[in-house]
Amino acid sequence: MNVITNRVEMNQIVKNYKCNAKTIGFIPTMGFLHDGHLTLVKKAKLENDITIMSIFVNPTQFGPNEDFESYPRDFERDERLAEAAGVDYIFAPSVEEMYPNEMGNQLSVLKRTNVLCGKSREGHFDGVVTVLSKLFHIITPDKAYFGIKDAQQVAVVKGLVHDYFFPIEIVAVETVRELDGLAKSSRNVYLSDNERKEVPALYKSLLMAKSEIMNGEKAPEKIIAKVKEYITKNTSGIIDYIEIYSYPTLERLDNMNGKIIIAIAVKFSKARLIDNIILDV
């Protein structure tokens, strides 16, 4: 495995593989890898000749009061895990490499962002599509892999690729969970011991909602109320949102039909956790 920090060098390596008709699978990450990331690697390796992972904590997707400086980082650990998983190249640029000058142009996401995490994180998805556009141009992958735990991000990225004609297939991979159901996340390390015991209730609340829907409940507000009651009773977290939308369009529903997402975000003392399930109703 090789670690590349220069964008021109990375692009030239990819061009050489493309000249030899090799396919490129790409996993963009902010590091502090967990089993969810490594599951993306496994799928990418099955479907491509070369697997490239980026590790870059992108400052433009963090708000002024968010955790950019304290976001967990451990590159040596990430390097070991990526190599063991079979990654061929890590692209690990500096902030100066990715943003060498003040930006003279700006990408803004106009749809799918006024709900869920986008509602309370103004500008977040503008930063996401900005850095992904840069990475897509540098790495020119055939396929890019994302975890469906960040379902809103997947929807936004699919919109980006569609609107700007990126010749890339976006592959959404199912959420990887701990044995007790907690969705794996880099931010789980921020949970206290007591909070860690509580947080399996988040996924249980989603399974309860799924059961209610499968048993015939069609009113979104009733499902939301039951999920809220369950989380409130079983955790010390503060609910940020509990929402039900069409997916991937992320539009409001009067009745639950078609493909839908039930999504939650809950704030604990030092961690904000998100989770979701997607259903065909």
pLDDT one-digit tens code per residue, 102-113: 989 989 998 898
33 is in an annotated binding site: yes
Sheet (strand 238-246) strand order: 238-246, 259-267, 272-280
Residue 267 β-bridge partners: 238, 272
In CATH terms, 2-173 corresponds, of 3.40.50.720, 3.40.630.30, 3.40.50.620, 3.30.2090.10, to: 3.40.50.620
176 is in an annotated binding site: yes
Mean pLDDT across the chain:
94
CA–CA separation, 116 vs 131, rounded Å? 21
Please compute Rg for the chain using Cα positions: 19
129 is in an annotated binding site: no
Q: Of the residues 37, 124, 137, 162, which is catalytic? A: 37
User: What pLDDT sits at residue 187?
Assistant: 86
Tokens of 6: 């220069």
Interstrand relation of 2-4 and 89-91 (parallel, antiparallel or unpaired): parallel
> According to CATH, where is 3.40.50.620 located in the chain?
2-173
Residues 6+ apart with CB under 8 A from 91: 4, 5, 7, 10, 52, 53, 54, 55, 56, 135, 138, 139
Tokens of 247: 């997916």
CA–CA separation, 238 vs 236, rounded Å? 7
148 is in an annotated binding site: yes
The answer to whether residue 37 is catalytic is yes
137 is in an annotated binding site: no
The pLDDT of residue 151 is above 90: yes
Q: Look up the pTM and report it.
A: 0.89
Residue 176's nearest CA partner among 33, 50, 77, 24 is 33
In CATH terms, 186-276 corresponds, of 3.90.1110.10, 3.20.190.10, 3.40.640.10, 3.30.1300.10, to: 3.30.1300.10
Banded pLDDT at 245 (limits 50, 70, 90): very high
